[in-house]
Amino acid sequence: EDQVTQSPEALRLQEGESSSLNCSYTVSGLRGLFWYRQDPGKGPEFLFTLYSAGEEKEKERLKATLTKKESFLHITAPKPEDSATYLCAVPIRRGGATNKLIFGTGTLLAVQP
Amino acid sequence: DTAVSQTPKYLVTQMGNDKSIKCEQNLGHDTMYWYKQDSKKFLKIMFSYNNKELIINETVPNRFSPKSPDKAHLNLHINSLELGDSAVYFCASSQVGREQSYTFGSGTRLTVV
C-alpha cells in the first residue's frame, strides 16, 4: 500500500538553530516527491519537487534531498517566518492520467525568536 | 489573479442541512480535485475530475456529490450534513503530465453544529 510518513509531528527551534524534517515513503514506482508549506488558514503552497535519488533542491534557508526511501527537508538558520506546517506528498497515477497526491501527516515547525 | 479560488471560506451549518462549496481555477489545467483536511491536518483526496469526467472517487459517502460544469469549475454538494463532516475542504487543480503544476485553493472551513 502506498504510504507517506513524516517525523517529527512537531518541532520547536530557536531562531538560528538548524534542523531536518523527515519524510519516508513506500510507493511503487515513485514519480516524484513534493514538499509543501502550509500556513494557518491557507492551502498548501508548493516548495519543491524531487524526482530521483540523490537530487537536491534549495530555496533560501530550505534544502530538500531525496533517497530511495526518504526525503529530508533541511532548515538552515531558521527565522520565525519559517514557522508553518511542512507537508510532503507523492503523486499516484490513477485512471491512466490523473494524479492524486498521498500526503504525510505533516510537521508543525515553530521557530522562536 | 487568484489561481484556484473557493467560496465560501467559512461555512457553519446545522446537522441535516445541505450545502455547496464552489471552486474555480484560471490556470487552464485539465484536472481538478477535492481534498479533505481533518482536525489533525491530514490531507486526503476525495474526488478528481479530468475534463469534466469523474476519475477518482475515494470511497466517499454518497452524500457528497461533486459536479464539474466545465474544466475550470468543480463544485461540491453535501447532503444531510453530519458532525463528522466538519473539516477543511481544499480544491486543487493540475495539468496531466505536469505533477509539479498541482495548485491548491485556500480552503473552506466547514463546521457542522
- pLDDT tens per residue, range A46-96: 999 999 999 999 999 999 999 999 999 999 999 999 999 999 999 887 666
Is the four-CA dihedral B20, B25, B31, B33 of positive or negative sign?
negative
For the beta carbon of residue B26, count every other beta carbon within 10 angstroms: 12
Q: How far apart are CA B87 and CA B38, in angstroms?
A: 5
Sign of CA dihedral B3, B32, A35, A86: positive
The whole-number pLDDT of residue B44 equals: 94
Rounded to an integer, the average pLDDT of B55-80 is 92
How far is it, in rounded angstroms, from Cα A36 to Cα A88? 6
Task: State residue B52's pLDDT score.
Answer: 81
Q: Which of B38, B37, B59 is nearest to B47 (CA)?
A: B59
* Cβ–Cβ contact B72 with A under 8 A: no
- pLDDT recorded at residue A36: 97
Question: Residue A32: its chain B contacts at CB < 8 A?
Answer: 99-100
- Nearest-Cα distance to chain A for B82, in Å, is 22
Per-residue model confidence (pLDDT) at position A94 = 65
Please indicate whether, in this complex, the C-beta atoms of B97 and A97 are within 8 angstroms of each other: yes
Cis amide prior to B8 (ω within 30 degrees):
yes
The reported pLDDT for the residue numbered A97 is: 60
Residue A96 confidence (pLDDT) = 61
Q: Which residues pair with B43 in a beta bridge?
A: B37
**Residue in A1, A9, A2, A29 with CA at minimum distance from that of residue A89:** A2
- Please list every residue in chain A whose beta carbon sits closer than 8 Å to the beta carbon of residue B99: 31-32, 34, 49, 91, 99
CB atoms within 10 A of CB A8: 12
Task: Using a CB–CB cutoff of 8 Å, tell me whether B96 touches chain A.
Answer: yes
Q: Is the peptide bond before A8 cis (omega within 30 degrees of 0)?
A: yes
Average pLDDT, chain B: 92
Q: Chain A closest CA to B55's CA: distance in Å?
A: 6
The rounded percent of chain A whose pLDDT value lies above 70 is 96
